[in-house]
Chains A and B, each alone.
Chain A
Amino acid sequence: MAPTSRVGIALLGAAAILPLGLREFHVHLLTEILILGLFAVGFNLLFGYTGLLSFGQAAYFAAGAYVCALWLKGPWPSLPIGLVLGALLAGAAALVVGWLCVRRDEIYFAMVTLACAQLIYVAIWRWRTVTGGSDGIGGIPRPALDLGVAALDLSRTLHFYYFTLAVVTAALYVLWRITRSPFGLALRAVRDNHRRVDYLGLPMRRYRLAAFAVSGVFCGLAGALFAPYQGTITPAVADWLWSAEPVMMTLLGGPGVFLGPVLGAAVITLLKDFVASATEYWPLIVGTVVVLLVLFLPGGAGGAVRDAVARRLAAGRVETGSAASSRAAGLDAGRAVGTGAAVLDASNGVGAGAAVLEGSGGVGARAALLEAGTGVGPGAPGLEAGSSVGARVEGTAAPAPPGRRSR
C-alpha cells in the first residue's frame, strides 16, 4: 500500500475516534477544519499541482454554499442532493469563468480570477431576492438523513461531524486519485513547463480549464457543507479575503504535499479560534505568518517535515542500507516494469526517495494535527460553542460593501 494511503487511513482512524473524547464545541471546530481542509485541497489542485494561483476560489465556495442553502430551504430539503447540486453548479460556474481565466498566466491569471470572483461577490450582494443581500440566508436546516439501516440526526453536532467526515474523506480520496491519474500527470507537467505541453500533443489550456472546473467542484462541495454547518451564509464567503484563506492554509501546510493544506486548515482554524478569543487583531498574526512563511519556508510546514525526514532517511541510507535504500536501488534499476507498490509510490516526481518521504511528511502532519487537536482541549478558554466561529466570519476585516461609498 502506498505510504500516502497509509497515512490517510491512519488520519481517518484518528478523525473517527477523536471527537468521542471532545466537547461539542471542539467537535464543531473539527468539522470546520474538515470543510476548510477540503476547500484548501481543492484550491491546491490548481496551485500546487497545476501551478495556477487563483485569488478567486471563494466564488465557487460561495456558489456551492448558496445553492445548497437554497435547496435546503426549499420544499424538498435533502443534504446529499444539496451537496451534489452545490458542487455541480459551482463546477459549472468555474467552467464558465475558467474559460476566460486560463488564457493568462501567473499574476495575470490571479488577477482575472480575482476580478471574476469580485463580480460574483457583487452579484450575490445585489441579488437580494435570491441571496438575501448583505443579510445572507439564515436558518439553514440540517434535515435528518435516513440511511436505511439507521438515521443520522444531522442537527446534532456529532452526527453532522461524522457525515462531514464521510463526505470530505470521499472527496479527498477522489482528489488524491485525480492527482495520481494520467490527467494529474498532465497537470503537473503544465505546472512545470506549461509552454512545453502543447508540443506533446496536449492542448494546455484545456487541461488548465479542466483543472479549474474540477477545483471549482470541490471548492463548491466544501461551500455546500459549510452552509448547513454554519446555519447562516453571508456574502463574506464570496469575498476575496475568503479566497485568501485557502492560499494561506496551503502555504502553511505545504503546496507540495497532498494533505498539506488540511494541516494548514487545522492550524489556521485552531489558531484563529485561540487568537480570536484573545485579540481582534487576528489578521495581523495571519499576515505576519504569511510573510514569514513566504520568506523562510515556501514549502510550508508539511514540506519542511518531509524534507527533514528526507535528510534523515538519506543519512540512514548511507549508514545502514535501510529498506528505503534498497527500494530506491530497485527503482533505479527499474527496467523490470511494474515492480508493484514501490514503483507506484515513485510517482511524486522526486523519485523513489520522495515517495517514501511524502508518506512520512504525512505522518508528521498527522502528529501535528493530533497534537493541535488535543492540545486545544484543555487550553481553550471557555467559549460558547459557535460564538467564536461566527465572530470570525463576520469580523475578519470584513471590507466595506461594494458601492457603499463610491470614490
Chain B
Amino acid sequence: MTALLKTEGLCKRFGSVRAVDGVDLEVREGQLTAVIGPNGAGKTTLFHLVTGAIAPDAGRVHFAGRDITGWPPAAIVRAGLARTFQITSVFPELSALENVLLPVLAQRRETARLWGSYAGHPARDAALELLDRVGLVAQAHRPCGQLSHADQKLVEVAMALATRPRLLLLDEPAAGLAPGETERVIGSLRDMVAAGGVTVVLIEHDMDIVFSMADRIVVLHQGRVLADGTPSEIRANPAVKEVYLGGTFAGRP
C-alpha cells in the first residue's frame, strides 16, 4: 500500500530550538496513526508544517502523490487534508450549523456565490447530517461560542469532516475535557473511523485512548522520530520506555 502522507527530512527551527528535526514519516491510507511524545517534542509543529500553517526550513511533504510543500493552507485542505486545533477554534458567533455549513459550501465551491441564500442551500442537508454524526443536531442553531467545550470540539471535528478529507489530523481532541466528555468525543471519533473513508493522524496525551484506538504509533522526542510501530511494538520498545513513558507506563498491559 502506498503512503497517503509522506514527509522527508522535515525541519523547523525556532531560534536555536530545533522543533522538528529531520522527520521522515509515512501515513498509510485507512490507518489510525497516533503521534505521541512529551511536551515540546514537536508534534503540533509537525502538524503546522504538514498543513501549510508554517513553512519548513528544509524537507518535503507529499500528500496523495503530490508534493504539497509550500502550498497555502486552503489549497492543502482542498487537496483533501484537514485538521483540527489543539486550542479549539470555531466561529463563535455563527451557529453550530453555520460552522459546519461553511466548509460544506466551500467543498462544493459555492462560497464565491454572491447570490442565493446560504440558509436555504441544499448543502444544509449535508451539514445537518455531519452534525448528526457527532450528535449535535439539537444544538444546530445555537451560537457555537455558547456550546460546551466538548461540543465545540465535536463541531470542529464535523467542520473538518465537511471538507471531505482523505486525511484528517486531530490535535489533542480530548484535551481539557472532563472524563465523561472525553468518552463522548472519543466515542464519536471511533464511530467516524469505523464508518471508514478517512485516514486519521491523532496527537494525544491520553495513553488509554492512544493504545486502544491506534493502529500505529509514532513517538516523537526532541523533534525526531524516536520510535514507530504498532502499539505492542511501542509498548515493548525500551527507548520509548526510558525517554518518554518512563516507569509509570511499564506496568500497564
Q: Convert B57-87 into 0s and 1s, putting 1 for each residue whose CB lies closer than 8 angstroms to a CB of A.
A: 0000000000000001111011000110100
Q: Which residue of A lies closest to B77 (CB)?
A: A201
**Complex contacts, B114 vs chain A, CB 8 Å:** 177-178, 181, 183-184, 214
Q: Say yes or no: is A308 at the interface (Cβ < 8 Å to chain B).
A: no
Within 8 A of A (CB), among B95-129: 95, 97-98, 101-103, 105-107, 110-121, 124-125, 128
CB distance from A52 to the nearest CB of B (A): 16
Chain B nearest Cβ from A172, distance in angstroms: 15
Interface string of A161-194 (1 = CB under 8 A from B): 0000000000000000110111111101101110
- The interface-forming segment of A220-228, A243-251, A333-341, A381-389 is A333-341
Q: Which residues of B sit under 8 angstroms from A188, Cβ to Cβ?
A: 91, 93-94, 98
Give the distance in Å from the alpha carbon of A328 to the alpha carbon of B142 in the complex: 11
- Indicate if the CB atoms of B142 and A351 lie closer than 8 Å: yes
Partner of B103 from A180, A200, A328 at Cβ < 8 Å? A200
B98 / chain A contacts, CB cutoff of 8 Å: 185, 188-189, 347, 349
Look across to chain A and name the residue whose beta carbon is closest to the beta carbon of B127: A337
Q: Give Cα distance in the complex from A347 to B127, angstroms.
A: 14
A189 touches B115 (CB 8 A): no
The 8 Å CB contact of B128, one of A180, A204, A335, is: A335
B103 neighbours in A (Cβ, 8 Å)? 200-201
- A333–B94 Cα gap in the complex (Å)? 18
Confirm or deny: B220 has a beta carbon within 8 angstroms of a beta carbon on chain A. no
Known: A181-B115, A195-B89. A351 touches B74 (CB 8 A): no
User: Does A203 contact B143, Cβ atoms closer than 8 Å?
Assistant: no
- Also in contact, A189 and B141, with CB within 8 A (given A184-B118, A201-B77, A204-B74): no
CB-nearest residue of chain B to A193: B91
Q: Which residues of A contact B89 (CB under 8 A)?
A: 193, 195-196
- Is A343 interfacial (CB-CB < 8 Å)? yes
Give the complex CA separation of A225 and B110 in angstroms: 33
Complex Cα gap A177–B120 (Å): 13
> Whole-angstrom distance between the alpha carbons of A214 and B97 in the complex?
26
Is B95 touching A349 in the complex (CB atoms < 8 A)?
A: yes
Asked whether B140 is an interface residue with its Cβ less than 8 Å from the other chain, the reply is yes
Are B77 and A182 in touch, CB under 8 angstroms?
no
Q: Taking the complex as formed, is B195 at the interface, i.e. its CB lies under 8 A from any CB of chain A?
A: no
Alpha-carbon gap, A158 to B113, bound state (A): 37
CB B163 to nearest CB in A, in angstroms, measures 5
Contact with B along A325-357 (1 / 0, CB 8 A): 000100111110110000111110111100000
Chain B residues near A182: list those with CB within 8 A.
Answer: 105, 110-113, 116, 118, 121
Given contacts A181-B115, A185-B101, contact A334 B128 (CB under 8 A): yes
Please report the C-alpha to C-alpha distance between residue A184 and residue B113 in the assembled complex, in whole angstroms.
9
Q: Is chain A's binding surface mostly helix, strand, loop or mixed?
A: helix
Segment 25-54 of B: residues with Cβ below 8 Å from A: 51
- Which chain B residue shows the least CB distance to A347? B119
A346, B128: Cα distance in complex, Å: 14
Name the CB-closest residue of A to B51. Answer: A199
Q: Give the docked Cα–Cα distance between A332 and B95 (Å).
A: 11
**Which residues from A are CB-within-8-Å of B116?**
177, 181-182
Q: Shortest beta-carbon distance, B164 to chain A, in Å?
A: 9
- Cβ contacts under 8 Å, A338 to chain B: 120, 124
Q: Does B137 contact A (CB under 8 A)?
A: yes
CB nearest neighbor in B for A200 = B103
On whether the beta carbons of A180 and B159 are closer than 8 Å, the reply is no
Within 8 Å by CB of B140, from A203, A334, A344, lies A334
Shortest CB-to-CB span from A271 to chain B, Å, is 31
Known: A198-B73, A201-B103, A347-B118. A192 touches B113 (CB 8 A): no
Q: A349-B94, A351-B142 are in contact. Are A202 and B74 (CB under 8 A)?
A: yes
Check if A200 sits within 8 Å of B159, measured CB to CB.
yes
Chain B nearest CB, measured from A179 CB (Å): 10
Whole-angstrom distance between the alpha carbons of A100 and B159 in the complex? 30
**Of listed B72, B73, B114, B141, residue having the most chain A CB within 10 A:** B141
CB-CB < 8 A to A200: which residues of B? 74, 77, 102-103, 106, 159, 162-163
- The 0/1 profile, CB within 8 Å of B marked 1, for residues 116-140 of chain A is 0000000000000000000000000
B187 in contact (CB, < 8 A): no
Residue of A nearest to B126 (CB): A337
Which residue on A lies nearest to B101, using beta carbons? Answer: A185
Q: Which residue of B lies closest to A202 (CB)?
A: B106
B238 interface residue per 8 A CB criterion: no
Specify the chain B residue showing the minimal Cβ separation from A196: B89
| Cβ contacts A to B, 27 pairs, < 8 Å | A177-B114, A180-B119, A181-B117, A181-B118, A182-B105, A182-B111, A185-B98, A185-B118, A186-B102, A186-B111, A188-B94, A189-B91, A192-B94, A193-B89, A193-B90, A193-B91, A196-B85, A196-B90, A197-B74, A198-B77, A200-B103, A201-B103, A204-B74, A207-B111, A334-B97, A334-B141, A349-B94
Excluding A196-B91, A200-B163, A344-B117, 17 further A-B contacts by CB distance (< 8 Å) are: A185-B101, A186-B111, A192-B93, A193-B90, A198-B74, A199-B82, A200-B159, A201-B77, A201-B78, A202-B102, A202-B106, A203-B72, A331-B141, A338-B124, A346-B141, A349-B95, A351-B143
Residues of B within 8 A of A (CB): 51, 72-75, 77-78, 82-83, 85, 89-95, 97-98, 101-103, 105-107, 110-121, 124-125, 128, 132, 137-138, 140-143, 159, 162-163
CB within 8 Å of B: which residues of A?
177-178, 180-186, 188-189, 191-193, 195-204, 207, 210, 214, 328, 331-335, 337-338, 343-347, 349-352
